[in-house]
Amino acid sequence: MTLIVFFRHGKAEPKMPGVDDRERRLTEEGAADVECAARLLRGRGVVRILTSPYRRAIQTAEILARTLDLEYSVVEWLAPDSGISVEDLPRLGVGDGYVLVGHNPWMEDTVTELAGGFLELKAGGFAVVEVESFKAGGGKLLSLVNPGVISICQR
Protein backbone atom coordinates (compact mmCIF):
# COMPACT_ATOMS: atom_id res chain seq x y z
CA MET A 1 0.00 0.00 0.00
CA THR A 2 1.46 3.33 -1.09
CA LEU A 3 0.26 6.25 1.03
CA ILE A 4 0.99 9.74 -0.26
CA VAL A 5 0.10 12.92 1.62
CA PHE A 6 -0.69 15.98 -0.46
CA PHE A 7 -0.21 18.97 1.85
CA ARG A 8 -1.13 22.44 0.70
CA HIS A 9 0.91 25.31 2.20
CA GLY A 10 -0.85 27.36 4.87
CA LYS A 11 -2.51 30.74 4.45
CA ALA A 12 0.00 33.31 3.20
CA GLU A 13 0.31 37.08 2.98
CA PRO A 14 -1.74 38.56 0.15
CA LYS A 15 -0.16 39.30 -3.19
CA MET A 16 1.40 42.75 -3.15
CA PRO A 17 2.92 44.87 -5.88
CA GLY A 18 6.70 44.68 -5.70
CA VAL A 19 6.71 41.43 -3.68
CA ASP A 20 7.79 38.36 -5.64
CA ASP A 21 5.10 35.68 -5.35
CA ARG A 22 7.87 33.21 -4.45
CA GLU A 23 8.64 35.24 -1.32
CA ARG A 24 5.17 35.47 0.23
CA ARG A 25 5.26 34.23 3.83
CA LEU A 26 2.79 32.27 5.95
CA THR A 27 0.55 34.34 8.15
CA GLU A 28 0.51 33.59 11.87
CA GLU A 29 -2.86 31.84 11.45
CA GLY A 30 -1.48 29.90 8.49
CA ALA A 31 1.48 28.66 10.52
CA ALA A 32 -0.83 27.64 13.38
CA ASP A 33 -3.10 25.72 11.00
CA VAL A 34 -0.15 23.83 9.59
CA GLU A 35 1.21 22.95 13.00
CA CYS A 36 -2.17 21.60 14.10
CA ALA A 37 -2.68 19.63 10.90
CA ALA A 38 0.87 18.27 11.07
CA ARG A 39 0.19 16.70 14.47
CA LEU A 40 -2.48 14.52 12.90
CA LEU A 41 0.25 12.88 10.83
CA ARG A 42 2.40 11.92 13.81
CA GLY A 43 3.11 8.22 14.07
CA ARG A 44 1.46 7.52 10.71
CA GLY A 45 4.45 6.33 8.73
CA VAL A 46 5.61 9.56 7.11
CA VAL A 47 9.20 9.02 5.96
CA ARG A 48 10.02 11.97 3.73
CA ILE A 49 8.90 15.57 3.12
CA LEU A 50 9.35 17.23 -0.27
CA THR A 51 8.44 20.86 -0.81
CA SER A 52 8.04 23.52 -3.46
CA PRO A 53 10.83 26.15 -3.36
CA TYR A 54 8.34 28.97 -2.69
CA ARG A 55 8.80 30.54 0.74
CA ARG A 56 5.26 29.78 1.99
CA ALA A 57 5.73 26.12 1.07
CA ILE A 58 9.18 25.91 2.64
CA GLN A 59 7.82 27.44 5.84
CA THR A 60 5.06 24.83 5.78
CA ALA A 61 7.63 22.06 5.28
CA GLU A 62 9.72 23.42 8.15
CA ILE A 63 6.76 23.17 10.52
CA LEU A 64 5.97 19.67 9.26
CA ALA A 65 9.59 18.58 9.62
CA ARG A 66 9.80 19.89 13.18
CA THR A 67 6.46 18.35 14.16
CA LEU A 68 7.26 14.97 12.60
CA ASP A 69 10.95 15.00 13.55
CA LEU A 70 12.10 14.61 9.95
CA GLU A 71 14.10 16.64 7.43
CA TYR A 72 12.72 18.07 4.22
CA SER A 73 14.02 18.49 0.70
CA VAL A 74 13.25 21.29 -1.75
CA VAL A 75 12.30 20.17 -5.25
CA GLU A 76 11.66 22.54 -8.14
CA TRP A 77 8.96 20.33 -9.62
CA LEU A 78 6.57 21.15 -6.74
CA ALA A 79 6.61 24.84 -7.73
CA PRO A 80 3.45 26.06 -9.49
CA ASP A 81 3.27 25.45 -13.23
CA SER A 82 6.08 22.90 -13.28
CA GLY A 83 3.98 20.78 -15.61
CA ILE A 84 4.43 17.58 -13.58
CA SER A 85 1.72 14.97 -13.94
CA VAL A 86 0.63 12.11 -11.72
CA GLU A 87 2.42 9.69 -14.01
CA ASP A 88 5.76 11.46 -13.34
CA LEU A 89 5.68 10.94 -9.58
CA PRO A 90 7.33 7.49 -9.42
CA ARG A 91 10.15 8.64 -11.73
CA LEU A 92 10.68 11.57 -9.32
CA GLY A 93 11.17 9.09 -6.50
CA VAL A 94 7.85 9.63 -4.74
CA GLY A 95 6.85 6.58 -2.76
CA ASP A 96 5.11 5.27 0.34
CA GLY A 97 5.03 7.67 3.27
CA TYR A 98 5.98 10.78 1.29
CA VAL A 99 4.48 14.18 2.06
CA LEU A 100 4.41 16.59 -0.87
CA VAL A 101 4.06 20.28 0.06
CA GLY A 102 2.85 22.44 -2.77
CA HIS A 103 0.25 24.66 -4.35
CA ASN A 104 -3.20 24.69 -5.79
CA PRO A 105 -4.50 24.10 -8.37
CA TRP A 106 -1.93 21.31 -8.82
CA MET A 107 -2.53 19.68 -5.41
CA GLU A 108 -6.31 19.61 -5.63
CA ASP A 109 -6.22 18.61 -9.29
CA THR A 110 -3.79 15.78 -8.59
CA VAL A 111 -5.80 14.37 -5.70
CA THR A 112 -8.92 14.60 -7.84
CA GLU A 113 -7.18 12.92 -10.74
CA LEU A 114 -6.07 10.03 -8.53
CA ALA A 115 -9.21 9.56 -6.46
CA GLY A 116 -11.89 11.30 -8.53
CA GLY A 117 -14.82 13.30 -7.20
CA PHE A 118 -15.42 16.86 -6.15
CA LEU A 119 -13.38 18.01 -3.20
CA GLU A 120 -11.76 21.08 -1.76
CA LEU A 121 -8.18 21.29 -0.51
CA LYS A 122 -7.92 24.47 1.54
CA ALA A 123 -4.74 26.30 2.55
CA GLY A 124 -3.11 24.35 5.39
CA GLY A 125 -5.15 21.26 4.54
CA PHE A 126 -3.99 17.86 3.40
CA ALA A 127 -5.22 14.74 1.66
CA VAL A 128 -4.03 11.20 2.32
CA VAL A 129 -4.31 9.07 -0.80
CA GLU A 130 -3.76 5.33 -1.08
CA VAL A 131 -2.21 4.91 -4.48
CA GLU A 132 -2.52 1.65 -6.32
CA SER A 133 -1.21 3.04 -9.58
CA PHE A 134 0.05 6.53 -10.48
CA LYS A 135 -2.59 7.33 -13.08
CA ALA A 136 -6.09 8.76 -13.31
CA GLY A 137 -8.38 6.80 -11.00
CA GLY A 138 -5.45 4.90 -9.53
CA GLY A 139 -6.02 6.06 -5.96
CA LYS A 140 -8.47 6.08 -3.08
CA LEU A 141 -8.98 8.98 -0.68
CA LEU A 142 -8.34 7.88 2.91
CA SER A 143 -8.55 11.25 4.65
CA LEU A 144 -9.05 14.89 3.76
CA VAL A 145 -8.42 17.41 6.51
CA ASN A 146 -9.31 21.04 5.93
CA PRO A 147 -8.80 23.70 8.61
CA GLY A 148 -11.97 25.63 9.33
CA VAL A 149 -14.20 22.67 8.49
CA ILE A 150 -13.21 20.64 11.52
CA SER A 151 -11.52 21.76 14.73
CA ILE A 152 -8.03 20.49 14.16
CA CYS A 153 -6.67 21.88 17.42
CA GLN A 154 -8.28 22.48 20.77
CA ARG A 155 -7.37 26.15 20.72
Q: Which H or E run contains 73?
A: strand 72-74
41, with CB counted inside 10 A (0-12, 13-18, 19+), is: buried
CB of 77 to a copy of itself, least distance (A): 25
* Binding track, positions 124-143, relative to a copy of itself; x by CB under 8 A: ----x-x------x-xxxxx
137, with CB counted inside 10 A (0-12, 13-18, 19+), is: exposed
> Does 109 participate in binding a copy of itself (rule CB under 8 A)?
no
Q: Residue count at the site for a copy of itself (CB under 8 A)? A: 29
Distance, in Å, from the CA atom of 11 to the CA atom of 116, rounded to the nearest integer, reads 25
Our CB check for a copy of itself shows the closer of 53 and 116 to be 116
Distance, in Å, from the CA atom of 33 to the CA atom of 45, rounded to the nearest integer, reads 21
The residue from 70, 92, 119, 136 that contacts a copy of itself (CB under 8 A) is 119
> Does 39 participate in binding a copy of itself (rule CB under 8 A)?
yes
The residue from 13, 40, 70, 97 that contacts a copy of itself (CB under 8 A) is 40
Our CB check for a copy of itself shows the closer of 83 and 117 to be 117
CB of 55 to a copy of itself, least distance (A): 27
Q: Segment 42-81, which members bind a copy of itself (CB under 8 A)? A: 42-44
Our CB check for a copy of itself shows the closer of 83 and 150 to be 150
81, with CB counted inside 10 A (0-12, 13-18, 19+), is: exposed
Contacts of 45 (CB under 8 A, 6+ apart): 3, 96, 97
Our CB check for a copy of itself shows the closer of 7 and 54 to be 7
